[in-house]
Amino acid sequence: MRNFIRFIIRNHFLLLFLLLEIVSFYFIFNYNQYHRKVYLSSSNQVSGYLYERFSSVIQYFELKRTNEELARENAELRNQLDKNSFYAPMLPEIEVDTVAAQQYRYSAARVINNSVNKHFNYLTLNKGRKDGIAPDMGVISSRGLVGVVLNTSENYSTVISVLNTRLRISARLRETGFFGSLYWDAGSYRYATLSGIPAHATPLVGDAVVSSGYSSIFPENVLIGTIDKVTIDQGEGFYEIRVLLSVDFKNLEYVHIVEKLEAQERLELEKLSEDD
Amino acid sequence: MINLLPRYLFNFVILILLQVLLLNNLQFSGYVNPYLYILFIITLPFSTPKWLLLVLGFITGLIIDIFMNTLGLHASATVFMAFLRPFILSSFSPRDGYEVGTRPVPSDYGFGWFFKYMGIMVATHHLFYFFVEAFDKELFMATLSKSIVSTLVTVLFVLIAMLFAKRDSNTL
């Protein structure tokens, strides 16, 4: 026993080093267990406060661009309204039905921290539990899909960005309806990769890639990007498609958080069939 | 020794704030990720106990990890760098060792000495960090070039930080 203690004392530097490295790597490989812990993420009170104060100074430099973006979005929404009112007279009166009930609720939030050049990019938003934000809600901007809420504290939330190698999104080709899985391969922040589109589909450069609506996170048909390059290896059954993302992650100021109103019901239903 | 405490506490807070508020938002390209916060570990006094180096490295890394949502990544790289520090220091030591009461800063041992020592430390940290980060998918060469470019930029930032410290040789 005394020899053992002497051994520890003599090698305490090496042993402490090994211990701390083991703890660190345990954190790295079990990030799934720990990323839900609010105090270990950027949405905790201290870092959230810091990020918010700092970004509220920076945002003044972005006001012009933010205004232009809002005007553009307003025009787009107005176009949609016009389209609706043009068709409206031709439709018969719709009876009130739960099918027509509001399915998604949107709330605006400001991006207070963001990165595009890391391997695992996250955003921090200035809305939290207090504003009804919960993990697994979708985040979109006026230009397209941004990410998924990972963590919420009282006033802040952490969002896992599309530009994060740990996120995969179910995506669909808008023209042909084939769907696959979209992920980021840590290269340029402008491009992501779509895989799982079968070889008999005919994806064309310029086609839109949208969210599939199979998950309860995003509404259907939220724009993700457009096809930039299509490749298929000899003998492979699936295309590998490079997608030009529609959101410019370097210039993200305001985003919308999407809450699916019957998500709970749907998840419970799906869980039932999973258990069988 | 004890009168160094407030100074290092100040360095610690300033370097972490610089890192998370400014440097993490620098976006030249996907290849450049300078990590200046390790300057805190680099400039700790020679008399710092070895175990304390590791513990401080772990705490610094973990705080950066929390801000960046990369739990464990920076902690592991900084602990690795702190572990190698005594060996790197002894391989660069002058003929009769380091004098008592001095610190590994340019004002004590000259700019050339500091540049070599700091360059090796930064490269150690960045290589370890980027290889652990890429781990399974990314190509060897891409990670290597990322580490080298980031190392050069971090070294540049350390030199800038040292310019600010020069006016009052007590800081950093």
Of A118-122, A176-180, B25-29, B96-100, the poorest mean pLDDT is in B25-29
Q: Is B131 on the interface with A (CB under 8 A)?
A: no
A263 vs A96, higher pLDDT? A263
Q: Does B52 touch chain A (CB under 8 A)?
A: no
| Token pair in block for residue B169 | 């040789």
8-state DSSP, B49: -
Structural domain boundaries enclosing A14: 2-34
Q: Residue A91: what pLDDT?
A: 54
pLDDT at residue A18 is higher than 90: yes
Q: Does a structural domain hold residue A93? A: no
In a domain, A15, yes or no: yes
Q: How far is B62 from chain A (nearest CA, A)?
A: 9
Which of A28, A117, A250 is the closest to B72 by Cβ? Answer: A28
Please report the pLDDT score of residue A244 as a whole number.
Answer: 94
**Better-predicted residue by pLDDT, B135 or A25:** A25
Q: Are residue A51 and residue A40 in the same domain, yes or no? A: yes
A132 with A30, same domain? no
A116 within 8 A of A129, measured Cβ to Cβ: no
Residues A6 and A77 in one domain: no
- Asked if A33 has any chain B CB less than 8 Å from its own CB, the reply is no
Which of A21, A157, A163 would you mutate first to test chain B, the one with the most B CBs within 10 A?
A21
Residue A251: give its domain's CATH number. 2.40.10.350
Listed ranges A42-46, A120-124, B123-127; the one with the highest mean pLDDT: B123-127
What tokens appear for A86 in the block?
Answer: 């043009």
**Measuring CA to CA, how many Å separate B52 from each of A9, B14, B57, B77, B142?**
15, 20, 8, 16, 34
Asked whether residue A53 falls in the same domain as residue A24, the answer is no
Write down the pLDDT at residue A79. Answer: 79
Note whether A24 and A104 are same-domain residues. Answer: no
The count of other CB atoms within 10 Å of the CB of residue B78 is 30
Q: Tell me: pLDDT of B98 over 70.
A: yes
Kindly state whether residues A28 and A49 are assigned to the same domain.
Answer: no
CB pairs under 8 A between A and B: 103
A56 & A182 share domain: yes
pLDDT of B85 over the 90 cut: yes
How far is A7 from B48, CA to CA, in rounded Å?
A: 22
Number of domains in chain A: 2
Chain B residues with CB-CB distance to A185 below 8 A:
137
**So where are chain B's domains?**
2-11+31-166
Which pLDDT tens digit goes with each residue over B28-58? 666 678 899 999 999 999 888 999 999 999 9
Closest CA to B85 of B131, B130, B129, B39: B39
| A122 DSSP β-pair partners | A160
What is the distance between the alpha carbons of residues A229 and A167, in angstroms, rounded to a whole number? 21
pLDDT band at A38 (very low <50, low <70, confident <90, very high): low
- For residue A123 the two structure tokens come to 């955003």
Per the model's pLDDT, the better-predicted residue between A151 and B139 turns out to be: A151
* B interface test, pick of A13, A17, A44 with most B CB neighbours within 10 Å: A17
| Residue A49 forms contact with B (CB below 8 Å) | no
Average pLDDT rounded to a whole number, residues A118-126: 88
Is a pLDDT exceeding 70 seen at residue A160?
yes
Judged against a pLDDT cut of 90, whether residue B70 lies above it is answered with no
List, in sequence order, every residue forming a beta bridge with A194; answer none if it has no partner.
A182, A241
Which pLDDT score is estimated for B24?
Answer: 81
Same domain for A6 and A81, yes or no, is no
Q: Does A18 touch chain B (CB under 8 A)?
A: no
The pLDDT mean for chain B works out to 85
For residue A105, being part of any structural domain is answered with: yes
Within this chain, do residues A30 and A107 fall inside the same structural domain, yes or no?
A: no
What mean pLDDT comes out for the span A178-200? 88
Give me the pLDDT at residue A36, please.
63
Tell me, yes or no, whether A189 and A242 share the same domain: yes
Centroid of chain to Cα A274: 25
Distance CA A232, CA A198 (A): 10
Answer whether A178 touches B (CB < 8 Å). no
SS3 A209: strand
Q: Please, what sign has the CA dihedral across residues B140, B144, B145, B146?
A: positive
Q: What percent of chain B has pLDDT over 70?
A: 89
The answer, for A250 touching chain B at a CB cutoff of 8 Å, is yes
Q: Please tell me the distance from the alpha carbon of residue A15 to that of residue A28, in angstroms, as a whole number.
A: 20
How far apart CA A124 and CA A104 sit, in angstroms, is 22
Report which secondary-structure segment, H or E, holds A257: strand A254-260
Do A47 and B61 make contact, defined as CB atoms within 8 angstroms?
no
Q: B17 forms bridges with which residues in the sheet?
A: none
In A, minimum Cα distance to B24 occurs at A115
**Are A108 and A142 in a shared domain?**
yes
Chain A residues touching residue B150 (CB < 8 angstroms): none
Q: If residue A258 lies in a helix (H) or strand (E), which one and from where to where?
A: strand A254-260
* Cβ within 8 Å, pair B71-A47: no
Region B145-164 average pLDDT: 87
Which pLDDT band holds residue A96 (cuts at 50, 70, 90)?
Answer: low
Residue A192 has pLDDT above 90, yes or no: yes
Burial of residue A196 (number of CB atoms within 10 Å: 0-12, 13-18, 19+): middle
Tell me if A90 is assigned to some domain: no
Residues A24 and A109 in one domain: no
